[in-house]
Amino acid sequence: MKALAVLLLFVGPLHAGDLIEHVRSHPDGKAAFTFEAGAWSDAEATRHLPIGVFDSGIGGLTVLEALLTLDVFHNDTLQPGADGVPDFAQERFIYFGDQANMPYGNYSAVNRTDYLRELIVKDAIFLLGRRAWPVQGETPLYTKPPVKAIVIACNTATAYGLEDIRKALAAWKLPVIVVGVVEAGARGVLESNTTGGIGVLATVGTCASGVYPRTITQTLGLAGKSVPVIAQQGSPTLAGAIEGDAAFPDSVAAYALKEARALAEAYRDSKPQAPLQTIVLGCTHYPLAKSEIDTAFDSLRKEAAFSQMIAEQRLFVNPAEATARELFRELARSKLRLKPGETCALDRGQFYLSVPRVEEVGIQLTADGSLDKDYKYSRSPGQMDFEDTKNIPLTPDLLPANSLKLVRERLPAVWQSLTR
C-alpha cells in the first residue's frame, strides 16, 4: 500500500483535469465545484481579497491560530523582527473544514487516493468561489468572496494535493498563492537542531506517502546536516478522536498513548544510536492534543523497554508557525500583501464546514447524521453534478463538545474570531 500511495503521489493529477474542464465550462461560478472566472481581473482588487485556509476538519485551526498571532516581521519594513503588531493584522481569513469527509488520512488505506485528490482540489475550488450553503435552506448563496491565497492546513492534503492545486491554478491562469504545511514541518526539524532521533506522528495517508521522511531528509541534507533515524506512525483514530467523532469513543489520551507506543516501537526496531528526541506533529489536529501526546511519552519512559529509547525532554515540531512565515514572504514577494492602514474586502473572518446533504438521495448516514463510514470510503471521483455534502457557515454550536473545548482553551485568537 505504501508503494501504491507513493506512486499515486508522483504520477500527476488523476482527475484534476476533469475539474479543470468542469470549471472552464461554468465561468459564471453558479454550478457546484466552480468559481467565477473573472474574479481576479483587477489586480488592485485582488490584493484586498481574503486568504483561504482549509483542512479536513478543525485541525487546521491550529494553523489559523499561528496566522492570527504571528509577529516575527516588521510590518513597515518587512524585515525579520517583531514589532508588536500581528504580521497579518490587515488581512482576513476564510477557513474551511471538510469535516463531513474527514479524516483524509484514511483514504489511502482503502485504495481511494484518487477520490481524496479530487476532494482536495474541490476544497480549493470552494475557497476560490462565491458559492456556499446557508445553515438552513435548499438553495446555495453566492455572497462568499473569493481568495487571493490558499493555505493547505492539512498534511495529508499537502502530500496528495499540493501539486494538483498548483497545476489547476496555472491552467486557470489565476494569480493565487498556494502554501502547504509539509515543507514547513521539515524546516521546523532543521531549526530544532535535534541531536536525537526523529519521530513523525501523522495520519495513515501522510505516512503512506512517505512525504515527511523524504522532505526531512532533503531539507537536512541541503543544509549539510546528518540525517538521524526517522520513524513514523500513521494513526487512523487520533484525528477523529480529537474532532470528537462518535466513531472513536475512547479518550484522546487513550488514543495518544496507543500511537506513541507504536511510534516508539517502530523507532526501537530501527536500532537507533540515540534516543527519540524530536516529534513532528504531522497532522494539524495533533497540536490540539500535544499535552496528551507528551504525557503518553512520559508514561512510556517509565517502562523498561523504552526508558533509554525516549529522551527525557522532547522537542515538538508544529509546522503551523513555519507555514505562517512562508505565507507572509509569499504575499510580500507577489505584492499581494495588504499594507498597514489598508483594509480587506471582509471586515471579519469567515468559517465554513462541510456537513452531509441529508436531502440528497442515495447517501448513507449513521444514526448521528454523519456519513456512513463504508459509504464515505467507497465513493469514486468524477461526479461533478452530485453533492452529498454541502459547505455551511461554521458556528460554535456545530462543533462537537470535545472539539469546542479544545478550541476555546487552546486557540484563543481563533476562538475570538469565531465568536465575534
Please list the rounded mean pLDDT of every run of 10 residues in the chain (420 residues).
Answer: 34 64 96 96 96 92 96 93 96 96 86 94 98 93 97 92 94 96 89 90 90 94 94 92 85 96 96 95 89 97 95 93 91 94 94 92 87 93 92 91 84 94
Amino acid 186: pLDDT: 92
Q: What CATH class has 2-183+321-418?
A: alpha beta
* Interatomic CA distance for residues 170 and 166, integer angstroms: 6
In the annotation, is 154 catalytic? yes
pTM above 0.75, yes or no: yes
Residue labelled with grid coordinates 475539474: 19
Q: Rounded to the nearest 5°, which phi and psi values hold at 204? A: -60, -45
List residues bridging with 54 in a β-sheet. Answer: 96, 152
Name the architecture of domain 184-319: 3-Layer(aba) Sandwich (3.40)
Amino acid 15: pLDDT: 55
* Interatomic CA distance for residues 354 and 356, integer angstroms: 7
Give residue 256's region: left, alpha or beta (phi > 0; psi -120 to 50).
alpha
Amino acid 251: pLDDT: 93
In the annotation, is 283 catalytic? yes
The residues spanned by each domain of the chain are: 2-183+321-418, 184-319
- The CA-atom distances, in angstroms, between 310 and each of 227, 295, 298, 305 are 18, 12, 9, 10
The single residue of 8, 94, 154, 418 carrying the catalytic annotation is: 154
The single residue of 32, 39, 283, 327 carrying the catalytic annotation is: 283
Amino acid 410: pLDDT: 86
Beta strands (DSSP E) in 189-323 are: 197-203, 230-235, 276-281, 310-317
Amino acid 368: pLDDT: 84
Residue among 258, 252, 263, 262 at smallest CA distance from 200: 263
